Amino acid sequence: MKIGLCQFRVELEKEKNLEKAAKLLKTAAEAGAEMAVLPEMFNCPYDQEYFPVYAEEEGGRTTNLLSRIAREEGLWVVGGSIPEREGEKVYNTCFVYDPAGNRVARHRKLHLFDIDLPGKVTIAESATLTAGEECTLFTAGDCRVGVAICYDLRFPEYARILSLQGADLMVVPAAFSNVTGPAHWEILLRTRAVDNQFYTAGVSSAPNPSLSYLAYGHSMLVDPWGEIKGALGEEEGVLVGTVDPARLEQIRSELPLLAHRRTDLYQLSSCGL
């Protein structure tokens, strides 16, 4: 499975963001990617005041665009995330489309990002967003793919559940800040890959100094040995890498972590999977 990580600077205008997303998805397909992933909140500035304003229902302009690009390019599209409106609630939601343009998965961010680092970064997603309630795993060809959105990455229980359910890859649309990103982004992506023996693909928006929230960028693909197979900096662009089943099999057979778990001593809920 060749995967394209699409990183770009989110703008204030939704239309510009959709144009950038469409362009990079097509670029990924032209570069040979079979799947492409967008960043968290790719159609709107990452700021709690904007989420309800930019929110759309499924079947709106953004999801229709993702479905169309997937169909036209014959591409699996992991649509980063957008503010999704359902009734009175707004979710931070990733929609996934198969190469025929069908929606095959929807992941609503499980862990809302409520933090206050004085003088550095303050955000309260729970002020405007509702947390999701379901773990998300789908099959793309021979690859089992789990979905986590940004802050979900910090919770090892969720990643382990995806691993136990057969995930070969965890995609992580994100918008880590320029404070938390340098400290933890790479560490978390590599740790989740090593602990769970799957690939991780972290896809961030690039920093835009004209917005109130500065994203970190540095999208990267990590293999199950913890090796970084490719990474971007703060620039806009597409990184194409490979999820190699032979590499997965080799590492899992040589270091069979999951088989050595002490399930007589500890258990995890399956999260409905």
In tens, the pLDDT along 231-251 reads 999 999 999 999 999 999 999
Question: Beta 76-78 vs 89-97: how paired, if at all?
Answer: antiparallel
Q: Please enumerate in sequence order all residues whose Cβ is within 8 A of that of 49, keeping only pairs 6 or more positions apart, or say none.
A: 128
Q: Does 267 have pLDDT greater than 90?
A: no
**pLDDT value of residue 199:** 98
Cβ 181 vs Cβ 204: under 8 Å: yes
**Are residues 227 and 251 in contact, defined by beta-carbon separation less than 8 angstroms?**
no
Phi, psi (deg, nearest 5) at residue 263: -70, -10
Note the pLDDT of residue 272.
Answer: 64
For residue 121, the model assigns a pLDDT of 78
Band of residue 273 on the pLDDT scale cut at 50, 70, 90? low
β-partners of residue 35 are 3, 76
Q: What gap in Å lies between CA 264 and CA 24, rounded to an integer?
A: 47
What are the tokens at 115? 């933090």
CA–CA distances in Å: residue 160 to residues 97, 135, 242: 24, 11, 22
- Tell me the mean pLDDT in the region 254-260: 95
With residue 156 as reference, give the H or E element that holds it.
helix 156-164
Percent of the chain having pLDDT more than 70? 99
pLDDT for the residue 122: 81
Q: What is the mean pLDDT of residues 117-135?
A: 88
Span 78-98, average pLDDT: 98
Q: Does 271 score more than 90 pLDDT?
A: no
Residue 270 has pLDDT above 80, yes or no: no
What letter would DSSP give residue 38? P
Q: Whole-angstrom Cα distance, residue 17 to residue 47?
A: 15
pLDDT for res 35: 98
Q: DSSP label at 207?
A: P
CATH superfamily of 2-260: Carbon-nitrogen hydrolase (3.60.110.10)
- Number of Cβ within 10 Å of residue 122's Cβ equals 12
Any bridge partners for residue 244, and if so which?
A: none
Tokens read off for 127: 């002020």
The answer to whether 220 and 230 are in contact (CB under 8 A) is yes
Contacts of 116 (CB under 8 A, 6+ apart): 122
Average pLDDT rounded to a whole number, residues 80-96: 98
pLDDT tens, residue by residue, 6-44:
999 999 999 999 999 999 999 999 999 999 999 999 999
Q: Are strands 89-97 and 82-86 parallel, antiparallel or unpaired?
A: antiparallel
Q: Between 118 and 131, whose confidence is greater?
A: 131
In the chain, where the domains are located = 2-260
Pull the structure tokens for residue 269: 């809920």
State the average pLDDT for the chain.
96
pLDDT digits (tens, 9 = 90+) for 190-234: 999 999 999 999 999 999 999 989 999 999 999 999 999 999 999
Collapsing DSSP states into helix, strand and coil, what is residue 54? helix
Q: Which residues are catalytic?
A: 40, 109, 150
For residue 116, name the pLDDT band (cuts at 50, 70, 90): confident
